[in-house]
Amino acid sequence: MKNDSERRLFHFTIIVVLIFGVLFAQLYYLQIYNGELYKRLSEGNRTSILPISAPRGKIYDRSGEVLVSNKMTYTASLIPDEIDDLDYVLEVLEQILEIDQLELEDKIIANKKDKLVRLKRNISQEELIMLEENKEQIPGLIIENIPIRSYVKDNLASHILGYVGEISANELSDLNEQGYRAGDILGKTGLELIYEDYLRGERGRQQVEVNNLGQQLRVLGVEDPEPGHNLVLNIDHQLQQTTEELLADKVKVIKKELEDEEHPPIGGAAIVSNPKNGDVLAMASFPDYNPNLFSTGISRTDWEELNSDLTRPLLNRAVNTSAPSGSVFKVVTSAAALEELEISGDDEFYDPGFYELAGTRFGNWYSGGQGEIDFIDSLAWSNNTVFYKLGHKLYKEDQTILQHYARQFGLGDKTGIDLKNEAEGLVPDPDWRRNYFQGIEDRIWYPGYTINMSIGQGNLRVSPIQLTNTMNAIANEGKIYQPLLADKVVDQDGNVVQEIESELINNLSLSEETMTVIQEGLEGVVTYGTARDNFSEVEISLAGKTGTAQTGRNNPNHGWFGGYAPADDPEISIVVFLEYGISSGNTLPIVEGIMQEYFDLEDLDDDQKEG
């Protein structure tokens, strides 16, 4: 019996020893032999704090129509810290995303300090599927669903709205203290840039668990982003669309007329504003572009195409360019002459078809001359001879008096419109000539320079938005307000965050008689003068001035029109500029179409339109 008990105890002991031996061996295998491996595996499951992009604020027209919004799209992103074999990951991504390996590497290296690098926004469904199928080969891959900018009406108001893009290294160094990080999207041009601080929003955060393969396992917590504030414009989207269409159609017609001639690229601009407060109701520039190209990161091909296009579609011709104004400048010369030379509206002048000074003849556009003509009619008929005489008299009074009036009307300086890179233009004077030219003779301000400037020629340069202020001064009894595209900033609940109010830039000290004479002359332009054939049947009264500016070098002339309506109580001002547009006559159908849209007039007969 004792032997049986001892035998069983012996066997039990053997079994226990074997069990503990196996357990010890397993522990040795796990902790010693493969300890480092399992240590790495256990450390593989960890958490990361990743940013969540905030939706930018929307942009609305004055009636609440959405012009710019956001749409959710899939984006391929990487957590740089999870990548061990960068070359291999880049090789896989290059094949799937069709992005050059060097470009991907530059982006990852540049953003190495950040938790998340966004490689490609708005990936296709095919790319999404391929990334999912190959995610085990791409450690640190994160597929995000983030908002990108959506310009709802494509090209509409593209020069006003501008576009967004990924922050550059230079921008990041300037804006780092304001909370920007690599990969952020910000406004690059237009209102997107000007009102960036309101539109940008506040990014959120999410805590995610990542396994040893660098794959996201689950979201542990989320701090939601705060959308940016919304921007409400003074622009009327329907008036904007009509203005753009009228401008584009006319430019295309002019290009067809000149297709057999060598000439610079043709473009144009048109502005509709409220002279009583500076609100810009429409601003068109042609050619234009589609800002949606920039929302996901513009391709090199598209960027090179836009930049190499000789018509310069990215250029806002309404604000960023200047040119001689032609006879629209006679509004300024009229004010100076009426105030400084004590002439009146019914003073008579004689026009033989030219004005001669020191053997040089300055010709009238009507070569045979108009004989006896009073001042109001000379403005209505745009009689060059009369204005040559007045320009010369002003020169004799003071070589800079005409320039003084030009600057009072807002020329030669920025208007303060809420857009970047506004052209200053140029009001040339004796000081400018002395500083600009080297030769002694070239530095002298001769009377011929003032004579030329009196009809808007010579070195004078004005922008369409500056000329808008000039016409607004006449329409608004001398008051000039800062032109503004934006009206207010509102939060997501519609509460006003910031009213954007225009400032009074200047209040011209012109006499009531001077203002009345100029207004009568501008009404005469439309009723019996140079623009009489286009507006005789229009129900709403219009006052304005045509201008055909010579460009030299055998190039086509620039065409201008500046005016306001109704003539007796202006609601809108209209300025149209056709760069190399042959003649001011080509601007008039655009003006007519804008009036039809704004005042809801019936279309005029085709025969009248051709006039």
Side chain identity at residue 398, one-letter code: D
Contact by Cβ (8 Å): 550, 384:
no
Tracing tokens 């430019």 back to the chain, one arrives at 251
pLDDT for position 114: 64
pLDDT for position 611: 30
196 CA to centre of own chain: 13
| Nearest in space to 283 (alpha carbons), one of 162, 178, 185, 439 | 162
At 200-227, the pLDDT tens digits run 999 888 777 766 655 666 777 788 889 9
| Nearest in space to 515 (alpha carbons), one of 479, 478, 541 | 478
Domain boundaries along the sequence of the chain: 49-210+220-233, 237-610
CA distance 557 to 559: 6
CA distance 526 to 463: 23
DSSP per residue over 107-126, as a string? HHHHTTTSS-EEEESS--HH
CA distance 54 to 579: 41
pLDDT for position 3: 62
| Main-chain dihedrals φ then ψ at residue 329, nearest 5 degrees | -65, -15
pLDDT for position 37: 47
CATH of region 49-210+220-233, choose from 3.40.50.1010, 3.90.1310.10, 3.40.50.2300, 3.30.70.120? 3.90.1310.10
CA distance 338 to 327: 17
pLDDT for position 23: 64
pLDDT for position 606: 44
Strand partners, 221: 207
pLDDT for position 81: 73
| Main-chain dihedrals φ then ψ at residue 345, nearest 5 degrees | -65, -25
Count CB atoms within 10 A of the CB of residue 253. 13
Residues 324, 325, 327, 332: is their CA dihedral positive or negative?
negative
* C-alpha separations of 160 from 54, 203, 294 in Å: 23, 26, 15
Contact by Cβ (8 Å): 137, 93:
no
Stated as kind and residue range, the H or E segment containing 239 is helix 237-257
Stated as kind and residue range, the H or E segment containing 433 is helix 430-436
Within 13 Å of residue 414, how many CA atoms lie on the same side as its CB?
10
Task: Kindly give the residue spans of alpha helices, DSSP state H, lying in 296-329.
Answer: 300-308
pLDDT for position 609: 38
Contact by Cβ (8 Å): 481, 507:
no
CA distance 388 to 329: 12
Class of the CATH-defined domain 237-610: alpha beta
pLDDT along the chain (611 residues), means of 10: 62 67 60 53 63 91 97 83 77 80 74 72 84 80 87 97 91 86 90 97 80 66 89 98 98 91 90 98 98 90 93 97 97 98 95 92 90 97 97 97 98 97 97 93 94 97 98 97 98 95 96 97 96 87 96 90 97 97 95 95 50 30
Q: Is the pTM of this model over 0.75?
A: yes
